[in-house]
Amino acid sequence: MIANLKLLLIAIELLFVTFSYAQKPVLVIHGGAGNISKSHIPDSLAVKYKAKLSEALRAGYAVLERGGTSLEAVRTAINIMENSPLFNAGKGAVFTNKGTNEMDASIMDGATLNAGAVAGVMHIKNPINAAIEVMLHSPHVLLSGEGAETFARAQGLEMVDASYFYTEKRYRQLKKAQERESETQGYISPWLNDFKFGTVGAVALDKQGNIVAGTSTGGMTNKRFGRIGDSPIIGAGTYANNNTCGVSATGHGEYFIRSVAAHDISALMEYKGLSLREAADEVINKKLKEMGGSGGVIGLDKNGNITMTFNTNGMFRGYIKQKGDPQVFIFK
Amino acid sequence: MIANLKLLLIAIELLFVTFSYAQKPVLVIHGGAGNISKSHIPDSLAVKYKAKLSEALRAGYAVLERGGTSLEAVRTAINIMENSPLFNAGKGAVFTNKGTNEMDASIMDGATLNAGAVAGVMHIKNPINAAIEVMLHSPHVLLSGEGAETFARAQGLEMVDASYFYTEKRYRQLKKAQERESETQGYISPWLNDFKFGTVGAVALDKQGNIVAGTSTGGMTNKRFGRIGDSPIIGAGTYANNNTCGVSATGHGEYFIRSVAAHDISALMEYKGLSLREAADEVINKKLKEMGGSGGVIGLDKNGNITMTFNTNGMFRGYIKQKGDPQVFIFK
C-alpha cells in the first residue's frame, strides 16, 4: 500500500517536471519590411494584412499547441502567406524583368543544422515546401531553376501553371519600375529605395525546444540576370541553431548576403554573449545601416524570447505565445 | 638652405614610415581538398600539380609585389588554375548528371565587404572573372544560369563553346560515378566520399592591407537538379573582411553551407578573439567533422598569418610571402 502510494507520488512528480520543463511554444512571422508608411497603406488594407498575419499565426500556433514540430508550424504559417496575394511570395510574387515570376525559399532546422533551399523556381505552388523536401529528401542544400522543379515534381509537390502567379498589382509594379528605369537609363535603380519588399518568413519554437526558421520570396521587382537574393541563402536570409536562435530576414537582399546577417546574429549571441535583441540590433541597426542596407529580421531564441527588428519605417510582423492572441503590427 | 634640409629630412622620414608600415603582401591558394593520398597521385602527377600551383602563386604574387591589388592577385592566380585541366574549375570542371559543365565562382573584398558570384554558368571561360564583374559592375551579389551569362557577355568577358570544358578524364569520372550510382540505386551516393574535390581558391593581402578572397569550381561530379554548392555562397565558401580574415573553402559543399563555414571562422576571430589558425581548426576539425563534413580552407589574416587547414587526407595548397619561393604541398 505504502509502496503504491510512493509510486503514485513519483508519477505525479514526473508529470509535474515534464509539464514545467516542456518548452512553451512560440511563433513569430514577417510579411516583409520596407518603405511601409501609413500613406502607402490605407486603413482598409492594413486590416487585410493584419487579418492574414493573424490567420498565419493562429494556424501555425495550433500545430505547436498540439505538439507538432516547429517545421510543420513554419510550413503552415508560410503556406498561408504564400497563398495570399498580399505578400511577395507564391501567389503575389513580384515579376522579373522578363515578366516571369521566379521564386526563392529556404528552411533550416536548428536541431540538426540541416537545411534546404530552392532558387528561381517558376511552377511550384509553395516554394517553402520545395525547400523542405530538399532538406528532408536530398543530399543537397540548394537546388535551382528547372532542376529544382524536376526534383519537386518527383517529390509529389503541387505544381501550377506559371499563370497562377500572375497578379494585376505586381504586374503594374513591374511596368512602373521599367518606366522609371528607362527614365534613369540603367538598372542600378534609385527607385529601389521607394519599394516595399514583401518577403515572408516564420520562426518557430516547439514544445521539444527545437527551432526552425524559413523564408519565401518572389525576390525583387524587375530583377534580371538570374539574380538570387538572400532568401535562399543559409546564413544570409535564414538561419537556425538550437544553441542560439532562429532568424528570417527581409529587405534589400544583397546587403544581407554581404553581411551574412542571419548567421552574424547567431554568432554574436554564441561568441560574444549578446542577447537575441542586442544581436539583431547590432546587425540591423548598426552594421547593415552603415553599409546602406535596409530591411529587418524576425527571430526567437531557445528560451522563447523574440525579436522583430527593422531599420525601415515598417515591417508586416507578428507573434503568438502562451495561448495568447496573435499580436500583429505594421508600422514602427 | 636650412628650410630645404628640413624638407629633405621630412621627405626621408615619410619614405621610411611608408616602407616600414607598408603591408608585406601574402598570397595563399588551394586546388581542392579530398581523398588525396599518395596512392591516388603518382609522383609524376604530383610534380605537375606542384608546378601549376607554383606558377599560380608566382604570377599572383608578382601582381602584389608591383603594388597591385589583392583583387588582381586573386584573379591572376585563380585564372591560371581555371585554365589548367588539373583542377575542377574552368577547363577541367567536372560533369553534371546531364553531361554538361556548370560552374560556380565567388569573390569578396574585405575592404568594402562588397561581393560578387555566379552559379551554374556554362560558357564563361573564367567564372571568377564573371564574379568580379558582378561585384564591380552590378548592384547584385549572385547571378545564376543564362542570366549570369547574358550579364557576363555584356561586360565583354571571354565566352567559349561548351565543348571547351570537355576533358576526357572528367568525363570518365562521370561515367564511373553513374555506374556506381546505378549499383547503389540512388543519388545519395556513398561513393562521394571516395572522391576528390578540385575546387580552386585564392586569398591575397596586398601592400595596402586589403584582403580579397575568391573561389571557383565545377561543383560535384554527377550533380543534378541545378544543385548549387558552397563556392558561390558568400559566408559559406568565400568570405573576406579586413578586420579579421579572408577565407576560401573546398570540400563537400553542403556541409560548408549548413555551417556557414567561412563566416564562422571570421566570427570566431572577431567575437571570441581566436587566432585565424584556432578559428579554422575549430570550424574544420571540430564543427564540420562532427557533422560529417569533409574539406578544408585556406585563409590569411590582416597581419599576413596564413592557415591551410583540412580534415581530409590531402589538399592541393601553397603560399608565398616576403619575396620567398612558393611553398606548395599536397598531402597531410
Q: Is A201 contained in some domain?
A: yes
CATH number for the domain harbouring residue A185: 3.60.20.30
Place of cell 549578446: A274
Q: Give contacts of A115 with chain B, Cβ < 8 Å.
A: 257-258
Q: Compute the nearest-CA separation of A15 from chain B (Å).
A: 34
In Å, how far are B53, B237, B297 from B27, measured between CA atoms? Answer: 12, 18, 14
Q: Between chains, do A144 and B254 touch, taking CB under 8 Å as contact?
A: no
Confidence tier at A1 by pLDDT (50, 70, 90): low
pLDDT tens string A113-132: 999 999 999 999 999 999 99
pLDDT attached to residue A25: 97
Q: Is A18 contained in some domain?
A: no
Q: Between chains, do A144 and B226 touch, taking CB under 8 Å as contact?
A: yes
Q: Compute the nearest-CA separation of A114 from chain B (Å).
A: 6
- Name the residue range of residue A70's domain: 23-331
CA B331 to chain centre: 18
Q: Give contacts of A188 with chain B, Cβ < 8 Å.
A: 138-139
Q: Between chains, do B225 and A120 touch, taking CB under 8 Å as contact?
A: no
Of B138, B228, B254, the CB nearest to A139: B254
pLDDT attached to residue B197: 72
Q: Give contacts of A268 with chain B, Cβ < 8 Å.
A: 267, 271
Q: Copy the grid coordinates of residue B230.
A: 558552397
d(CA A280, CA A269): 9
Q: Between chains, do A234 and B260 touch, taking CB under 8 Å as contact?
A: yes
Q: Compute the nearest-CA separation of B103 from chain A (Å).
A: 13
Q: Is B56 contained in some domain?
A: yes
d(CA A229, CA A120): 10
B199 is catalytic: yes
SS3 B204: strand
pLDDT of B21 strictly over 80: no
Contacts with A198 (C-beta within 8 Å, 6 or more apart), sequence order: A31, A32, A34, A86, A87, A88, A89, A92, A94, A217, A218, A250, A316
Q: Is B14 contained in some domain?
A: no
pLDDT of A312 strictly over 60: yes
**Closest listed residue to residue A289, CA positions, set A266, A317, A256:** A256
Q: Between chains, do A226 and B146 touch, taking CB under 8 Å as contact?
A: yes
Q: Between chains, do B225 and A147 touch, taking CB under 8 Å as contact?
A: yes
Q: At what angle do helices A127-137 and A145-154 cross, to 10 degrees?
A: 70
Q: What angle do CA A85, A324, A231 make, to 5 degrees?
A: 40
Confidence tier at B194 by pLDDT (50, 70, 90): very low
Total number of domains in chain B:
1
Amino acid at B40: H
pLDDT attached to residue B188: 44
SS3 A207: coil
Q: Is A115 contained in some domain?
A: yes
Confidence tier at A14 by pLDDT (50, 70, 90): low
Confidence tier at A37 by pLDDT (50, 70, 90): confident
pLDDT above 70 coverage of chain A, percent: 90
Place of cell 512560440: A26
Q: Give contacts of A113 with chain B, Cβ < 8 Å.
A: 258-259, 291
d(CA B286, CA A19): 35
What's the half-sphere exposure (Cβ side, CA atoms, 13 Å) at A132? Answer: 21
**ipTM of the prediction greater than 0.90, yes or no:** yes
pLDDT tens string A209-261: 999 999 999 998 889 999 999 999 999 999 999 999 999 999 999 999 999 99
Q: Is B226 contained in some domain?
A: yes
d(CA B288, CA A179): 48
Of B108, B226, B257, the CB nearest to A115: B257
Catalytic residue (choose from B76, B96, B199, B215) = B199
Catalytic residue (choose from A96, A199, A215, A309) = A199
DSSP string for residues in A274-328: --HHHHHHIIIIIIIHHHT--EEEEEEETT--EEEEESSSEEEEEEEETT---EE
Q: Between chains, do A142 and B257 touch, taking CB under 8 Å as contact?
A: yes
Q: Give contacts of B150 with chain A, Cβ < 8 Å.
A: 225
Q: What is the pTM of this model?
A: 0.93
Q: Is A63 contained in some domain?
A: yes
What number is the average pLDDT over the span B159-167? 96
Q: Is A7 contained in some domain?
A: no
pLDDT tens string A147-157: 999 999 999 99
pLDDT attached to residue A192: 47
pLDDT of B192 strictly over 70: no
Inter-chain Cβ pairs, chain A and chain B, closer than 8 A: 147
Summary count for chain B: helices (H), strands (E): 10, 13
Q: Compute the nearest-CA separation of A70 from chain B (Å).
A: 18
pLDDT tens string B22-56: 789 999 999 999 888 888 889 999 999 999 999 99
Q: Compute the nearest-CA separation of B224 from chain A (Å).
A: 7
Of B148, B227, B239, the CB nearest to A140: B227
d(CA A116, CA A132): 6
